[in-house]
């Protein structure tokens, strides 16, 4: 399931963020003013207390897209509901960008310790060998964990020294 080229997991994440907003609106008794800028600002302020900056940014983006979608369909501007009186309330709420963090890099020594803890086992099972291969592919190829989990035997082109990643981030296949 994709929407506008977004992966299903991304669509699920946006849905979860919107449901979280709906629960907050209900819990804080804002049903009559859920499209008001002040209500959205209060919600984002609450999110800043509970969530990491990157999740607050995702919340902002999700609400912005959602309210723009409603405004485009004239659900807000067309006022089919007396409580829907504004255009996109996000238009006047500045977005605070999360600080860019450097990716965590596994040190070579840590990789060596981990892989040798399996490679040096006297009686390896097929699960041990699978795990060793997964660790090596993660580290040496720089794949994401979900990409490694999705690999199949047909993705390893040993004669050409190529590994095909199917449905990677963004749903793209890549060698």
- 29-43, 45-59, 65-79, 123-137: which has the minimum mean pLDDT? 65-79
> What CA–CA distances, in Å, run from 41 to 28, 34, 52, 126?
13, 11, 17, 53
Tokens of 5: 């080229």
Give the model's confidence band at 171: pLDDT under 50 very low, under 70 low, under 90 confident, else very high. low
- Tell me: the pLDDT tens digits for 66-120? 988 887 776 654 455 555 555 788 988 888 787 787 878 888 999 999 889 988 8
pLDDT score recorded for residue 77: 46
pLDDT score recorded for residue 79: 52
Strand partners, 157: 162
Q: Is the pLDDT of residue 127 over 80?
A: yes
Average pLDDT over residues 25-37: 85
- Tell me: the pLDDT tens digits for 36-49? 889 999 999 999 99
Give the model's confidence band at 152: pLDDT under 50 very low, under 70 low, under 90 confident, else very high. confident
More confident residue, 83 or 147: 147
Average pLDDT over residues 142-164: 85
CA distance 45 to 36: 14
pLDDT score recorded for residue 172: 64
CA distance 141 to 106: 13
Average pLDDT over residues 147-151: 86
């Amino acid at each position: 399931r994709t929407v506008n080229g977004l992966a299903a997991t991304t669509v699920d994440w946006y849905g979860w963020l919107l449901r979280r907003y709906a629960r907050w609106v209900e819990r804080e008794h804002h049903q009559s003013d859920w499209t008001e800028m002040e209500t959205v600002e209060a919600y984002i302020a609450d999110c800043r207390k509970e969530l990491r900056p990157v999740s607050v940014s995702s919340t902002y983006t999700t609400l912005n897209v959602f309210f723009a979608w409603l405004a485009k369909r004239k659900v807000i501007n067309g006022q089919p509901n007396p409580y829907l009186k504004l255009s996109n309330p996000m238009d006047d709420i500045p977005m605070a960008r999360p600080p860019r963090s450097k990716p965590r890099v596994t040190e070579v020594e840590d990789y060596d310790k981990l892989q040798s803890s399996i490679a040096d086992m006297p009686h390896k099972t097929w699960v041990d060998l699978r795990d060793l291969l997964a660790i090596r592919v993660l580290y040496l190829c720089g794949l994401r964990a979900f990409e490694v989990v999705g690999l199949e035997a047909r993705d390893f082109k040993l004669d050409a020294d190529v590994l095909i990643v199917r449905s990677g981030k963004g749903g793209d296949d890549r060698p």
